[in-house]
Amino acid sequence: MFQYKKYLAYPVNIKKKDLKMAKYIITQYGGPYGELGAALRYLNQRYTMPDGKGKALLTDIATEEFGHVEMICAMVNQLTKGASLKELKDYGLDCNYAQNGLEITPADVYGNDFTTTGMGFTGDVLADLSEDMAAEEKARATYEHLLDLATDEDVIQPLLFLRERELVHFAKFKELYDYYKKKMN
């Protein structure tokens, strides 16, 4: 089902430690508009698609979202590499450390653990695809906010790539939505 290649969808090579930016970026791992939630949402929704076209698109995008999770984790890891416990405390990352050490765990920017509570699953193809388009737009907006906060080109370039993929996913979902809307009427 999956073919694993040992490289990221876009290279992440951050040289400067920046715990403040790491704290911001982690929201795209486990926050409400993050990559993990999108991947799980799309994998779940593929089973209610009425045909192979919808199932294939949701599977493809969900798989890509897991690649984005990997990029976010690489970014956070590189931004926190070599951080002292004092630095973790100074940037509010010590709560995670208390339970998980230096392991990156899915959370939002406030440190709240990842949850599936806000995911939209209805079993209605058009409602779910509308939710998926909205999710991609929320993720795009979050990436734009992160870009506003970023100052390091090594951080900006992967964020630009991820933002662009949100636009592509939105367009693909819109195309599928329009296809089903026409087919169902």
Give the model's pLDDT for residue 155: 98
Model confidence pLDDT, tens digit, residues 82-109: 999 999 889 988 777 777 778 888 888 8
Q: Is 161 part of any domain?
A: yes
Radius of gyration of the chain, Cα coordinates, nearest whole angstrom = 17
**What is the model's pLDDT at position 1?**
58
* 2 domain residue, yes or no: no
- In the three-class reduction of DSSP (H, G, I as helix; E, B as strand; rest coil), residue 86 is classed as helix
pLDDT tens for 27-61 read 999 999 999 999 999 999 999 999 999 999 999 99
Q: Domain for residue 8, yes or no?
A: no
Contact (CB, 8 A) for 183 and 125 = no
In this predicted structure, what is the pLDDT of residue 2? 61
Task: Work out how many domains the chain is built from and give that number.
Answer: 1
Q: What range does the domain containing 50 cover? A: 19-184
Mean pLDDT of the chain: 92
Residue 12 within a domain: no
Residue 7 placed within a domain: no
The answer as to whether 13 is a domain residue is no
Q: What does the chain come to in residues? A: 185
pLDDT tens by residue, 150-164: 999 999 999 999 999
Q: What is the CATH number of the domain that holds 157?
A: 1.20.1260.10
- Residue 158 belongs to some domain of the structure: yes
The per-residue pLDDT for range 165-181, each reduced to its tens digit, is 999 999 999 999 999 99
Residue 72: inside a domain: yes
